[in-house]
A and B are shown apart, each in its own frame.
Chain A
Amino acid sequence: ITLIPISVNAAADDAIAAYTGGASVSEGGVMITAPEIAENGNTVPISVEAPGAAEIALYADGNPTPGVAVFKFGPAAGSHRASTRIRLGGTQDVVAVAKMPDGSFQQAAVEVKVTIGGCGG
């Protein structure tokens, strides 16, 4: 078993392993832009960018369900970035995993401190 040097909880670990098919994931190559402190966990702005990536999958490791979204970039994409707004149930790490065209994976994580949770809590 290869341990990834990012402290994600077991459910998020499983979700990421399901996405990568168990392939090893290297650090870096993905940029996540997120607020350091989010006052309202119901709508937290997140941007992800991974130059050259075919897909970027986004996970919130402290949510009841860790999966958030998967962005697949098509041939008419103008970049390999996307932004959206997500729900965070509390302070946690947001993890972005990029799938490269050669089938390798890269990831990055940022911690977002949440003052009011976004899962009805």
Chain B
Amino acid sequence: MSDVKPRIRLPRTAKAGQAAEIKTLVSHVMETGLRKDSDGNTIPRMIINRFTCEYGGEMVLDMALEGAVSANPYVEFDIMIGEATEVVFTWYEDGGAVYTETKELSFG
């Protein structure tokens, strides 16, 4: 889907050895597969079913999502800042599409 657009907020200044909050939102309908269209046909399920955040080659958060997660899935969690600068975010959609975004931490 072309309307999948991630938005990510990293801590403004990162300090090694400290936990910091990350906020992510990805634009997506999260179609549950339970709704019907005006002709009574079931609209097929199409959701983001997995979201991961990796840092310095290690997992920060690996989240499995069901249709009960709201449209435009929002996730907030904490990262333990180390030496690495790159944080990699990946969203996995039903049907196999994968969306990846890499953000750089700025150390204060």
Q: Which residues of A contact B (CB under 8 A)?
A: 42-44, 47, 60, 63-65, 67-79, 81-88, 118-120
B residues less than 8 Å from A86 (CB atoms)? 68-70
Interface size bucket, B side? 20 to 34
Chain B interface, >50% SS class = strand
Q: Which residues of B contact A (CB under 8 A)?
A: 18-21, 32, 34-35, 54-56, 58-71, 73-82
| Chain A, residue nearest B66 (CB) | A67
Most chain B beta-carbon neighbours within 10 Å: one of A76, A88, A118: A76
- A82–B63 touching, CB < 8 Å: yes
CA distance A83 to B56 in the complex (A): 23
- B61–A85 touching, CB < 8 Å: no
Known: A64-B34, A70-B64. A77 touches B77 (CB 8 A): yes
Q: Name the contact of A69 in the complex, choosing from B19, B35, B69, B78 (C-beta under 8 A).
A: B69
| Chain B, residue nearest A45 (CB) | B74
Known: A64-B34, A76-B58. A71 touches B66 (CB 8 A): no
Q: Name the contact of B61 in the complex, choosing from A74, A118, A120 (C-beta under 8 A).
A: A74
| Chain A, residue nearest B21 (CB) | A78
Min CB distance, A74 to chain B, in Å?
A: 3
CA distance A68 to B70 in the complex (A): 10
- B61–A82 touching, CB < 8 Å: yes
Known: A42-B71, A65-B66, A87-B68. A79 touches B78 (CB 8 A): yes
- B59–A72 touching, CB < 8 Å: yes
